[in-house]
Amino acid sequence: MVEQSLQRGQDDSGATPVVIWGSGAIGGTIGAALVRAGRDVLFVDVSKDHVERMRSDGLCIEGPIDNFSCQTNALTPDEMTGQWPLILLAVKAHHTEAATRQLLPFLRSDGAVVSCQNGMNEPVISDIVGPDRVIGAFVNFLADYIEPGKILYGGRGAVVVGEIDGTQSKRVSEIYETLKLFEPDAVLTDDIFGYLWGKAAYGTLLKTSAIADASIVDYITGETYRSVLLGMIQEVLTAAQAECVLPKSFNGFEPAVFLANDTTGIAKSLEALRAYNALSTKTHSGVWRDLVKRKRQTDVVAQLNPIRMIAARHGIATPLMDRLIELVEDVEAGRREVGATTFAALSDVTS
């Protein structure tokens, strides 16, 4: 069915076939929902174990939101063939350039890559495939890759899509309708970078909770962490302000109150974030899982470096981001362990 749809650029329903490039937490969860909705989906992943399990047993989604399995078409990148009209890129930020170069030969000249990733990866993708073939996206649902063929879908969250130049188009409207098959409350926006900057600010608390060895909820509510939490968010929002970007709100996060140092508003936003994350069975951040469970490199540097460079261009200091990167690299290299001592080395920056 996949090859037949490839020839005509549509599946049996007339819809565009979808390639999921990176079939872990984000890509696997979205792709499985599309398969269940009847869409023609091809999963691509570098993990041979994951691909083989998807081929033999299908892809299993489990958790409080949904529990189901679906039969899947799955390949490793070296097995890929053909030309495809729509590729949802869902790899970690630090794999963006390599993955985009891998997928480039398989993207149709009139096709599009949608960055369903954490981080502002659209500029990197644009440099490789051309900006006219890139669609921006923002995702904030909670999911984890558990093992080959199995993904935890721990909680619903914002899903937003938009052209990177803010225009409306037929293709982005069609992609929006496709994403609604996964998240019915998905948003079509003319300001995707507003959402990406908002996620970048919120994402700092996910990264710092990891080196503190704290759950997301404990980090949000813990007074020990508060000065770092607020300082990190401020660094990102100040850079956004210098870029004349107004970060968008989502899932309880209200960037404006943090930027204004509105104590009452910040308390309300943090409580909303606590309540939102408390509903999820994903208790810790993906960065924490990479550092503690999977013992592998994180995408912290890849996500924060673009923001640091923008800040530097505007003469804005980012001491907390700078130190966080050093500490994460130390943990990745085995020179430190996550926990109170490592977090204190970050907190010292605020003293």
For position 213, what pLDDT does the model report?
Answer: 98
What pLDDT, in 10s, does the model give residues 70-96? 999 999 999 999 999 999 999 999 999
- Burial class from Cβ neighbours inside 10 Å (0-12, 13-18, 19+) for residue 222 reads middle
For the domain 2-190, what is the CATH superfamily, name and number?
Answer: NAD(P)-binding Rossmann-like Domain (3.40.50.720)
Residue 313 CA to its chain's centroid (Å): 25
User: CA 321, CA 86: separation in Å to the nearest integer?
Assistant: 35
State which fold the 194-350 domain adopts: N-(1-d-carboxylethyl)-l-norvaline Dehydrogenase; domain 2 (1.10.1040)
For position 26, what pLDDT does the model report?
Answer: 98
For position 12, what pLDDT does the model report?
Answer: 57
- Domain residue spans in the chain? 2-190, 194-350
What pLDDT, in 10s, does the model give residues 248-295? 999 999 999 999 999 999 999 999 999 999 999 999 999 999 999 999
Residue 273 to residues 96, 228, 267, Cα–Cα distance (Å): 28, 16, 10
Task: For residue 115, give both structure tokens.
Answer: 């960055």
User: CA 97, CA 104: separation in Å to the nearest integer?
Assistant: 11
For position 351, what pLDDT does the model report?
Answer: 84
CA-based radius of gyration for the chain = 20
What is the pLDDT confidence band of residue 15, given thresholds at 50, 70 and 90? confident
Question: How many percent of the chain have pLDDT more than 70?
Answer: 96
Residue 9 has pLDDT above 70, yes or no: no
Contacts of residue 63, defined as CB under 8 A and 6 or more positions apart, other chains included, come to: 143, 152, 153, 154, 155, 281
- Rounded to the nearest 10 degrees, the angle between the axes of helix 192-211 and helix 226-242 is 150
| 185-190 long-range Cβ contacts below 8 angstroms, 24+ apart | 185/156, 185/158, 185/159, 186/159, 186/160, 186/161, 187/158, 187/159, 187/160, 187/161, 188/160, 188/161, 188/162, 189/160, 189/161, 189/162, 189/248, 190/162, 190/163, 190/166
For position 8, what pLDDT does the model report?
Answer: 39
**Among 88, 54, 86, which residue's Cα sits nearest to residue 69?**
54
Contacts of residue 322, defined as CB under 8 A and 6 or more positions apart, other chains included, come to: 308
- Rounded to the nearest 10 degrees, the angle between the axes of helix 340-347 and helix 319-332 is 150
What pLDDT, in 10s, does the model give residues 209-228? 999 999 999 999 999 999 99
Phi then psi dihedrals of residue 89, to 5 deg = -90, 120
Say which amino acid occupies 104: L
